[in-house]
Amino acid sequence: MLIIKSPLEVLDMAEELLYEGKAKKIFSTDDPNVLLVQYKDSLTAFNAKKRDEKAGKGHLNNVISSWIFTWLAKKGVESHFIKQVDETHQLIRKVEIIPLETIVRNVTTGSLCRRLGVEEGKKLSRPIIEFSYKSDALDDPLINDDHAIVLGWATEEEVATIKSIALKVNKLLTELFASVGVLLVDFKLEFGRDEKGRVLLADEISPDTCRFWDSKTHDHLDKDRFRKDLGDVLGAYEEIWRRLSARGMDA
Ligand code: 5GP
């Protein structure tokens, strides 16, 4: 991955801290349409009721997410991502975040099994898309398309666009990860509106936001290692990065 800026040059790009979330900080830059994102080393789960710090985690999520957004752009999926600028920072286009978490599931696990009592680890006959309302105060409650549209969080057209991009990303990433021996179990996407009102993929795509299982062993290579106290969280993130970087963008 191309590293083009020294830490001092990156600090210079950051103007004002606009937002600090659980895993990232967002700064304004001298361009009103461009933001600087800093990936933090903090790990949180269960709406930050469980927290830890792992040195190097921000770097890994930054390089993994930058790699995936770059690869998706080559496949025709646009996102807010502009470029990686150093180990833990990337530049993104400013978008107005749509307050929906879009979850795509290929295999049963996690909250789907808890909520519906279905068996873990079953391959679904087709992907399931779910929406949650992005609200820490409410613990990101599950909603449906009607809630999103009627309560004014997204238009009907935006919901249709989000679903269509989510399914395309799922198809592309399922193939990508299969090529490096990883089963893409499920993941969460976020979307935003750019200055022209176009819906763009946003946030990050990383082991924090996806469930990655080793195709053969079903070992967890994602944040479930932290959620379930399985140990070696960083080793799992490093393994995802090792496989993606060894594969290369062009294969
Ligand atoms: P579940 O609903 O089973 O907990 O999560 C489904 C998928 O979405 C998992 O890949 C999980 O990592 C991701 N996901 C759901 N909600 C969040 C969230 O609030 N933050 C992050 N980082 N990932 C989430």
Would the pLDDT of 2 be above 70?
Answer: no
Write out pLDDT tens, residues 190-212: 999 999 999 999 999 999 999 99
Which atom of ligand 1 has the smallest separation from the CA of 103?
Answer: 8
Write out pLDDT tens, residues 14-49: 789 999 999 999 999 999 999 999 999 999 999 999
DSSP state of 20: E
Q: Give the Cα separation of 197 and 131 in Å (integer).
A: 21
CATH class of 5-91: alpha beta
Q: How confident is the model at residue 1 (pLDDT cuts 50, 70, 90)?
A: very low
Q: Is 154 in the pocket of ligand 1 (CB under 6 A)?
A: no
> How many CB atoms within 10 Å of residue 82?
18
Q: Report the mean per-residue pLDDT for the chain.
A: 95
Domain ranges of the chain: 5-91, 94-243
Average pLDDT over residues 40-69: 97
What pLDDT, on a 0 to 100 scale, did the predictor assign at position 248? 95
Write out pLDDT tens, residues 83-125: 999 999 999 999 999 999 999 999 999 999 999 999 999 999 9
Q: Is 211 in the pocket of ligand 1 (CB under 6 A)?
A: yes
What pLDDT, on a 0 to 100 scale, did the predictor assign at position 8? 63
Pocket test for ligand 1, best of 103, 104, 237 (most atoms within 8 A of CB): 103
As given in the structure block, the two tokens for residue 63 are 């390089």
Query: N- to C-terminal Cα distance for the chain?
Result: 16
Full-model pTM: 0.95
Q: Give the Cα separation of 15 and 112 in Å (integer).
A: 41
Would the pLDDT of 12 be above 90?
Answer: no
What pLDDT, on a 0 to 100 scale, did the predictor assign at position 4? 56
Q: How confident is the model at residue 144 (pLDDT cuts 50, 70, 90)?
A: very high
Whether the CB-CB separation of 80 and 95 falls below 8 Å is answered with: yes
Go through the chain and tell me how many residues it has: 251
The SS3 of residue 53 is strand
Q: Give the Cα separation of 152 and 100 in Å (integer).
A: 11
Q: Is 101 in the pocket of ligand 1 (CB under 6 A)?
A: yes
* CATH for the stretch 94-243: 3.30.470.20
